[in-house]
A and B are shown apart, each in its own frame.
Chain A
């Protein structure tokens, strides 16, 4: 070991190091801004362009015929909510039960392959889900329908819900399962009443995240739900949805429709944002369990 003083940097080297440290800090700060800026830009543009078209009639009225001013997207807002409800009916039971299987029952091998399949499905482009629902429900019944749209979104939700359910179930300490087993309780009751109940908040969070994810999807609805311009009470007929309405208005040549498309995008984003805020709210106290 040499003299300790020999390790002390020269004044020039110390300055170079301080300068380098500052430079890197600035670079990291710029990267952080680059990540966050688009979000604020999107919000800014949506509010700037859409807020003016956002009035009471936007939420209560149907679109007016071309060339007439006013009108709204009430049918598309309701349509999106209907589609989300149907998606939840498909995606939540299958996803949650699949997650329970993975966490509680699956052998190493079956779990591995199911998990692998779910991860692959999570990466499948959303338009492929639309094609699947189209082939399953549109072609055989010879009509676009709300059912097909709901199923397309629901299929997308399954792997998402399944993986998050599995993850939160695995977090439930083994000691609770042991305690319940030692009381002579059957396995399925333990899973339902002890394990799932303990992880309930996490499961609900996972479902909401999945809903927020599919709420903004356009591609799976293009040739399933199709969209329309009026109230549709029949689920076996095409139904409107916000993303579809935004899409068709945005590619139209009319200024008024462009403004409405902005407003629709603003409403859709607020819907997704509120779902995400709900998730934040629910997962606040999660570490206590």
Chain B
């Protein structure tokens, strides 16, 4: 497998209007369970998350959706006392296999958080390139090119191209979140995980980020956890509904919202609980 850091992007790939061709699953999760100490947070989850699609994960608070997302790039391991059982593969590679470095997993599977968190000591440009620089990329021309590409992809370039040396935290909340997306994209992950990326944003900034998620589908597999069901309906291709640590229903977003087969899903998406 070639290194996702140094692999170059096809420059200026044309915007595809239609859904990219089905390339099979990005993630293959089989009988995956997770415990925080004695408490089981995920129970026998099996799911195939399609490549180059936007997959939304919905469910009431405490249903395990964020835990599941963090398990996809092993971020849950920051919490002491976790234990997992089952298998989780990304394009056929076991992410929990023996000797697999979590740092390597996270380079392939990037993440954007609920609250924007640009590094306060760094400029806008430094924030975007820090992942590459700390992973050993020295070539200045390459860094500069990737800086522009990443900010373009995050739909932030036009707003910041004249102020790249200003501190990252001088931007507005919505811009900061797009800066964090650019930062995650700059290391060229194969998958982008988003943990309620819009919950701290106003409606206009939310619309921009949702538009951005749509455009990312051309190159990336996106998995987004959201509390906002309209958001899931608007910007995802497939939707997974979690409840009490179990995957209750998974399918095309249209089906989940219009014609759910499980009564719990039906109750949740129609707003009767959660």
Bound-complex Cα distance A258 to B186 (A): 68
Which B residues are CB-close (under 8 A) to A33?
none
- Inter-chain contact B119/A183, CB cutoff 8 Å: no
In the complex, number of A-B residue pairs with CB atoms less than 8 Å apart: 74
Q: How far, in Å, is B254 (CB) from chain A's closest CB?
A: 31
- Inter-chain contact B187/A184, CB cutoff 8 Å: yes
- Inter-chain contact A182/B111, CB cutoff 8 Å: yes
Bound-complex Cα distance A173 to B104 (A): 24
- The interface size of chain B toward A, counting residues with CB under 8 Å, comes to 25
Q: How large is the interface on A (under 10, 10 to 19, 20 to 34, 35 or more residues)?
A: 20 to 34
Which B residues are CB-close (under 8 A) to A5?
none
Interface membership of A198, Cβ < 8 A? yes
Stretch at the interface among A64-72, A84-92, A189-197, A217-225: A189-197
Query: Among residues 150 to 204 in chain B, which have CB atoms less than 8 Å away from a CB atom of chain A?
Result: 180, 183-184, 187
Interface membership of B113, Cβ < 8 A? yes
- Inter-chain contact A178/B119, CB cutoff 8 Å: no
Which B residues are CB-close (under 8 A) to A288?
120
- Inter-chain contact B135/A184, CB cutoff 8 Å: yes
- Inter-chain contact A175/B103, CB cutoff 8 Å: no
Bound-complex Cα distance A261 to B180 (A): 60
Interface membership of B261, Cβ < 8 A? no
* Set A177, A182, A189, A200: member contacting B134, Cβ < 8 A: A189
Query: Among residues 89 to 107 in chain B, which have CB atoms less than 8 Å away from a CB atom of chain A?
Result: 103-107
Bound-complex Cα distance A187 to B78 (A): 11
- Inter-chain contact B120/A185, CB cutoff 8 Å: no
Interface membership of A181, Cβ < 8 A? yes
Q: How far, in Å, is A33 (CB) from chain B's closest CB?
A: 41
Closest to A288 in B: B120
- Inter-chain contact B103/A198, CB cutoff 8 Å: no
Bound-complex Cα distance A176 to B127 (A): 11
Q: Which of A177, A193, A288 is most buried by chain B, counting CB atoms within 10 A of its CB?
A: A193
Interface residues of B (CB under 8 A from A): 73, 75, 78, 103-108, 110-111, 113, 115, 117, 119-121, 130-131, 134-135, 180, 183-184, 187
Interface residues of A (CB under 8 A from B): 173, 175-187, 189-190, 193-194, 197-198, 200, 288-289
